[in-house]
A and B are shown apart, each in its own frame.
Chain A
Amino acid sequence: MSLPVEDTAPEPVFEQPWHAQVFALTVALNEAGRFGWEDWARRFSETLKRNGAGRDLNGGDDYFRAWLQTLEMILAEDGAAAPVEVAALREAWEAAYLATPHGQPVHLPEA
């Protein structure tokens, strides 16, 4: 294991665009009063603990995967985004990507 450490070369704040998007969704929902930050931290740490039980999490992609799982769970429980709804829209986005010519912006068909 290594803990690399030059802070002369700045790392990107978010390695992947979706890391930034799921982070922003969570902060926006917190600011809108949907859940408190302490509750969020508690739920998120539970997910990290579960996911890290069998292996070491690297703090990168697996960190934000745990973040996303936590947000999905909270939104499923409070009814804001039911799993079946999320699955359907995920399929719709996938279909939209596959149907959009390379280089064009991807949009969902109007609902």
Chain B
Amino acid sequence: MPHDDDDHPHALLPPDPALRVKALETILVRKGLVDPAALDEIIDTYENRIGPRNGARVVARAWADPEFKAALLADATPLIADLGFYGRQGEHVVVVENTPAQHNMVVCTLCSCYPWPLLGIPPGWYKSDAYRARAVREPRKVLAEFGVTLPPETSVRVWDSTAEVRYLVLPMRPGGTEGMGEDDLAALVTRDSMIGTGLPGVPS
């Protein structure tokens, strides 16, 4: 929060919840229940080191390597761990494949379960009541608001994440990408295409 107002004689008072968090942190650190360095490490990891690029690498490899794709669809968790994208909370990742017959879309109706190691922290809309309620009730309408219009013959399946199982959508490989390497393919994979609320980019 930028703040260069000379009229304030004292430090800018943070909002109430921020003070409550500081209070909790002080108590837990004093009691030795959390280590301040571990907190910094967690924040750095989520802010800088994990995010949708991890998921995009997995998708690009599945597009490029049929054996990897088959193994990924059969049991994604160990493969993803092998790539170094382990789940801190021990969750299982299930990869669901888009096909001309079925489009997949992910929600967490309970709270906001999300494949953190592959996609990072979910965007605000994923956590909103509106998305959580409407994705199940009227998925096509929600998709249309995201600019995704599917052919009538494509069915939409909505997957509800839990604390134990997190879903990642494997989008269909865009046309015109024959012969592209994994790095170039990964650049086409958007976060929303792995939640199912978007489609991957197309080569320019």
Q: Could you list which residues of chain A lie within 8 angstroms of chain B, going by C-beta atoms?
A: 1-5, 7, 11, 13-18, 20-25, 27-32, 34, 37-38, 40-42, 44-45, 48, 52, 56-60, 63-65, 68, 71-72, 75, 80-81, 85-90, 92-94, 97-104, 106, 108, 111
Contact = CB atoms under 8 A, between A and B. Distances in A.
A98 B164 CA distance: 44
Contact of B129 (A16, A18, A59): A59
A90 B22 contact: yes
Main secondary structure of the interface of A (DSSP, over half): helix
Contacts, number: 196
A109 to B, nearest CB: 12
A5 B23 contact: no
Nearest to B121: A13
Contacts of A93: 19, 22-23, 26
A100 B11 contact: yes
Interface of B: 8-28, 30-31, 33-35, 38-40, 42-43, 46-47, 51-52, 88-91, 110-113, 120-121, 123-131, 142, 145-147, 162-164, 190-192, 197-198
Contact of A34 (B10, B33, B35, B142): B33
A19 B163 CA distance: 20
A14 B21 CA distance: 15
B39 A80 contact: no
Contacts of A31: 38, 88
Contacts of A64: 17
Nearest to A52: B129
Given A38-B164, A65-B17, A99-B10, A80 B23 contact: no
B124 A104 contact: no
